[in-house]
Structure 1
Amino acid sequence: MRIRRDFFAKHMGIECRFWEKENSFYIVQTDYREELLSKGFRIDNELKSRVFKEVSFNDIESAYRVNTFCTYKGFKFFVESASNGKYTLRPLEEAMKHFNDFPKHAYDPVYEAEENEIEKLWEEREPIDGFVFDAEPIVYIEKNKY
């Protein structure tokens, strides 16, 4: 399962990770697809499975920050990662209170859960100041989708 936690932008209708390069210029990056090379994308020399492109602020159709969350044992958790049907979770405040498990010196609460213990899984998308926000704010994910 691919857990998304990053900044994303839509460019030419394509959802890409993105970050600022300098002076309102940005890098957009997505998975390699041959047809993207004819749209100005270049193969990433470090990650051959990805392509990237330098774009201006005006080339970005929409931009947002994505974080993935779930409900586990009835409480909302931040999803740190997922691999081989196992999830690494960080409790939010309500869960920390319920489980009486708070950050302490050199300790941050982390939970491991099996996929079948996850009740719901979703992405929350938040606007980034200065950009158009044209995306669903919450997108539910089928756990076995990836």
Structure 2
Amino acid sequence: MFGGGGGGGLNPRKMEQMMQQMGIDVEDIDAEEVIIRTEEYDLVFNDAEVTKMDARGQETYQVIGSPEQVESGAAGGADAGADESAGTEIPDEDVELVATRAGVSEDEARDALEDADGDLAAAVERLE
């Protein structure tokens, strides 16, 4: 992408300086597992290298590793039963927003959000 011919490109420090000048922030993420879920199968990357690049508000994630292809929905199954709420964790701010908007208790708002898979508009619509 950058660099001229010959010598194999830019050194990493120069590349980082150029990216910062263009407003691109790069962050390494210490990921234990990455799952890409499709209708047909799941791709599971164990100990993948993950880099997040933020270019003026547009976030891009790069995953480097060799995935294992498993049956759709099978990925994360061993840990999902132990901590099932981790995948459906509803932020308190969302609960408060739905409760205020629909005029209901926070418990009712949380239940509606869980039923709507975290979709704020759908939860409010169900409660109104």
TM-score (norm 2): 0.25
Q: Which has the higher strand share?
A: 1
TM-score (norm 1): 0.23
Higher relative contact order (CA 8 A, sep 6+): 1
Q: Which has the higher helix share?
A: 2
Highest CA radius of gyration, 1 or 2? 2
